[in-house]
Homo-oligomer: A and B are copies of this chain.
Amino acid sequence: MRVKRDSVREAILTSASLHFSAEGYLRATIGAIARDARTAASNVYVYFPSKLDLALAVFEPWLKKEILRLERAVRREKTAMAKVRRLVDGLLRRIPEDEAGHTTTLVQALSTARPNDRYNPDLLHWTERKVAAMLRHAVGETLSERESDSLARGLMLVFDGVALRRNLSIATVGSDLAETMTRLILAQAGDASLPAAAE
């Protein structure tokens, strides 16, 4: 019997990634994605059950790569404050503002999803755990496990908010926001070495 060729699947993913990051989930069309993958629109559905599944197949590896890259960057910083600042800056400014990234894809895809699409939150939880671990690595023992989990969940919610705003071309004044969040986290961690904020 005939068999699915990986090369076709790869071509579709590559084309989809380009279209989604350039045009967003909604304006990108299956027709255009298929054309650039040198196949027919209907054939895309042999490899992916729906446009939403295709988008998630593009988004997931992208986000994981970005988070792992961020993890390495945080580890390279020396002080607790520098680590936290790098974490927040990556999560709330660098990753969402990446022109070739997929935060817009995510927001558009998920907000058009219907309840029966049953988006599974594994990726979200994986990311939250990673962020919580980075927080603990950064500030050490002064942060309880439960506190770091709460902070990580809060940070991910802010990330979602930033992503949504970005979709509206509403600037979030990224570096200022990152600075505020860094101070909040360090204050929560009870870090007394925090310099007085230069207001």
Contact of A161 among B108, B161, B180 (CB under 8 A): B161
Residue contact B199 to A188, C-beta cutoff 8 Å? no
Q: Is there a chain B Cβ closer than 8 Å to A176's Cβ? A: yes
Q: Is there a chain B Cβ closer than 8 Å to A146's Cβ? A: yes
Q: Is there a chain B Cβ closer than 8 Å to A181's Cβ? A: yes
Contact of A181 among B154, B156, B164 (CB under 8 A): B154
- Give the shortest distance, in Å, between A146 (CB) and chain B (any CB): 5
A157-B161, A183-B188 given as contacts; is B199 within 8 A of A144 (CB)? yes
- Give the shortest distance, in Å, between A154 (CB) and chain B (any CB): 6
Please provide the chain A residues from 152 to 185 with a CB less than 8 Å away from any CB of chain B in the complex: 153-154, 156-165, 167-170, 172, 176-177, 180-181, 183-184
Complex A-B, nearest 8 residue pairs according to Cβ-Cβ distance, in ascending order: A157-B161, A160-B161, A111-B111, A150-B180, A161-B161, A157-B158, A160-B164, A187-B187
